[in-house]
Amino acid sequence: MSSMLFEVKHRPDRLKKIAGNHRLLSGFDAEVQAAKKDNARLKELFDSLDSMKNHEKKYNAALREIAELKTHKMRHKLFIGGPGCGKTTTAIAIGKDLYGKDYADMFVEINGSNDRSLAFVRQTIKNMTSSGTRSYTFMIIFIDEMDGMDKKAQEALRRIIELSKSAVFIMAANDKDKIIPAMFSRATPCEFLPVPVKEAVDKIQEICAEEGIQADDEVLEELYLSRFGDLRNAIGRLGELAVSSNIITMEMVQDAPVDAEIFDTFYQLASTGQQRKAYRHFLRSRIDAGISQDEFALKFARRLINLKVDEIVKAKVFVFVKENKIGNDSDIGIIALAGKIFSAVEEKKENEKSDERMKAMEKKVDAMLEQYNEIYAALHSISPSMAAR
């Protein structure tokens, strides 16, 4: 078995090999085929220019056609979607389908989280778009993790995209809310969805066959779902498990019992307002079990689904984890999570008390009405005229 990471080794390098998002991929393939035709015609024209130098009309006509072809570009694209749903893989596949052996020269990949400064955009990226290409109508500049680029850099990039004549930009982001609104009118937004479960399982099963791994579809489905629809992560996890065994079982892909104890205790401490103890428990468990901040938040959310906890409390905690991206930056997020659990539980208790008070009030009103009806009936039996008064 190769020591190369599975998610790298088995990454599709052509559009037709990618799972999921078929409508999007079909559209991209059509654009690639149209661009390849333009590139073939461009090469043909450049190759024939020398033979046309003595024929002014033909030569000028060829130059005009070259100039026209150079304006033919696929639209800039903004890939939006969660981790592991194929954004980066698709961008790379577009480049390899379009450029073939020249891929390394014509496809430039930039990480927006690392190369995020205004200076980098103005100097490096702008220089990339200033020089034309002879053999192709355009080059591709792919900016991954675009949501990691600060807003000033995005504003500068927007202007570069508008003026670009020799490059097509493909940008990928997990969080569309961190992309400036102006970018959505300069590039076509393309929403990537997680790969459907059956298709993901089939894909992982193909890898198992190549690697000599045995696993039932049920096991692979659990593996995929346990990664929250992140196919790349699921494939990476498969590689980790395959190091110790070529037979993957359900027990191997599910959380170990120790995980449940860690998260149950954290919830219990947090829900009773013991924030300091909850945090210290998290810190000790994270260190002893080798769990990162991201992993702790993710596994806690997965465990919370199965806890016998009020569904409204669950919902509030899930929303809090998602909106605040708990675990991404520092332990302070875990403390905030513990606080949110406590406040959600206390709010539930207060609502229950309010409901009880309301029910008690309703009972008193009912008792008073019943007493009134009894008095009215008694008066009516003694004297109808008195009851009327």
Domain boundaries, the chain: 21-191, 197-253, 255-389
Closest among 72, 4, 86 to 35, alpha carbons compared: 72
Strands 107-111 and 188-191: unpaired
Three-state DSSP string of 169-203: EEEEECCHHHCCCCHHHHCEEEECCCCCHHHHHHH
Name the band, by pLDDT with cuts 50, 70 and 90, for residue 280: confident
Number of helices (H) and strands (E) in the chain: give both, helices first: 19, 5
Give yes or no for residue 180 having a pLDDT over 80.
yes
Give yes or no for residue 238 having a pLDDT over 90.
yes
Architecture of domain 21-191: 3-Layer(aba) Sandwich (3.40)
Q: How many other β-carbons are positioned within 10 Å of the β-carbon of residue 7?
A: 19
Is the CB of residue 80 less than 8 Å from the CB of residue 173? Answer: yes
- Residues 276, 277, 280, CA angle at the centre, nearest 5°? 85
User: For 197-253, which CATH class?
Assistant: mainly alpha
Q: Token digits for 131?
A: 């020089």
- Residues 80, 83, 84, CA angle at the centre, nearest 5°? 110
Right CATH for 255-389 from 1.10.10.60, 3.40.50.300, 3.30.450.30, 1.20.272.10: 1.20.272.10
Q: What letter would DSSP give residue 256? A: P
Q: In this predicted structure, what is the pLDDT of residue 380?
A: 62
Any residues with CB less than 8 A from the CB of 101 and at least 6 apart, and which?
none
Q: In this predicted structure, what is the pLDDT of residue 256?
A: 61
Q: How many other β-carbons are positioned within 10 Å of the β-carbon of residue 216?
A: 13
Q: In this predicted structure, what is the pLDDT of residue 258?
A: 59
